[in-house]
Amino acid sequence: SQTIHQWPATLVQPVGSPLSLECTVEGTSNPNLYWYRQAAGRGLQLLFYSVGIGQISSEVPQNLSASRPQDRQFILSSKKLLLSDSGFYLCAWSRNRGRNYGYTFGSGTRLTVV
Amino acid sequence: AQSVTQLDSHVSVSEGTPVLLRCNYSSSYSPSLFWYVQHPNKGLQLLLKYTSAATLVKGINGFEAEFKKSETSFHLTKPSAHMSDAAEYFCVVSDRANDYKLSFGAGTTVTVRA
């Protein structure tokens, strides 16, 4: 069966510090991968998605970047965090680009920038 | 462009009474529709999905939803609420116009009174 791992679960970082959140998927190959952010009291915002190694699409301009160095690894990064980067970050995967059968989400990372 | 409107930001019910969460969608193509549930500080769990098969969809934990094309609705119901149903619920739409990426509603918070 497929599983998705996301870490760390919680993170407190000072403004201006770097960020690296990692997500890995097991039990499947060539998944589509996604990073979402959920700010307090708001819905989910798609930040990045990837349909293959090295292929990253950005949905919104921001202080963050994403990379996919391996087929089942997706990394969210920042060189210098802003207070506005605080939120709940969720990684997700789906099978392919065709008819969508839903995403499977990781357990999330609560990021607090202080 | 596809979009979802969740008509209630907050729903409060008594334990053992029915739950109704309302969702209207907009899509130019045959959409896929989903309901996800999120418990506090957790990832999202898929409750059920509609992908052009039966219009009445049964999901986990006693939830079901009915796809009504004429009303562009996909309301979520449960005949008898349980305390463990207290969570946030997201209605989600996907179609080929947006490359099958998911578009989330703003969410409905469900409170269950003892």
pLDDT at position B40 over 90: no
Q: Is B94 on the interface with A (CB under 8 A)?
A: yes
Residue B68: Cβ within 10 Å count: 13
Q: What is the DSSP string of B32-79?
A: EEEEEEE-TT--EEEEEEESSS-SEEE-GGG-EEEEETTTTEEEEEES
Do B103 and B92 meet the contact criterion of CB atoms below 8 Å apart? yes
Torsion of CA B10, B14, B20, B23, to 10 degrees: 10
Distance between CA atoms of residues A88 and B17, nearest Å: 32
Do B23 and B5 meet the contact criterion of CB atoms below 8 Å apart? yes
Contacts of A111 in chain B (CB under 8 A): none
Q: Which of B36, B44, B94 sits opposite A100 (nearest CB)?
A: B94
Do B11 and B108 meet the contact criterion of CB atoms below 8 Å apart? yes
Q: Is A35 on the interface with B (CB under 8 A)?
A: no
How would you classify residue B45: left for phi > 0, otherwise alpha for psi between -120 and 50, otherwise beta?
beta
Q: Kindly report the nearest CA distance between residue A52 and chain B, in angstroms.
A: 15
Q: Is B105 on the interface with A (CB under 8 A)?
A: yes
Query: pLDDT tens, B68-97?
Result: 999 999 999 999 999 999 999 999 998 877
Contacts of A106 in chain B (CB under 8 A): 43
Do A114 and A14 meet the contact criterion of CB atoms below 8 Å apart? yes
pLDDT at position A88 over 70: yes
Output DSSP code: residue B9.
S
Query: pLDDT tens, A54-67?
Result: 999 998 877 899 99
Q: Kindly report the nearest CA distance between residue A88 and chain B, in angstroms.
A: 8
Distance between CA atoms of residues A13 and A17, nearest Å: 7
Give the model's pLDDT for residue A22: 96
Q: Kindly report the nearest CA distance between residue B44 and chain A, in angstroms.
A: 6
Query: pLDDT tens, B8-29?
Result: 999 999 999 999 999 999 987 8
Q: What would the 3-class secondary structure string for B80-108 be?
A: CCCHHHCEEEEEEEECHHHCCCCEECCCE
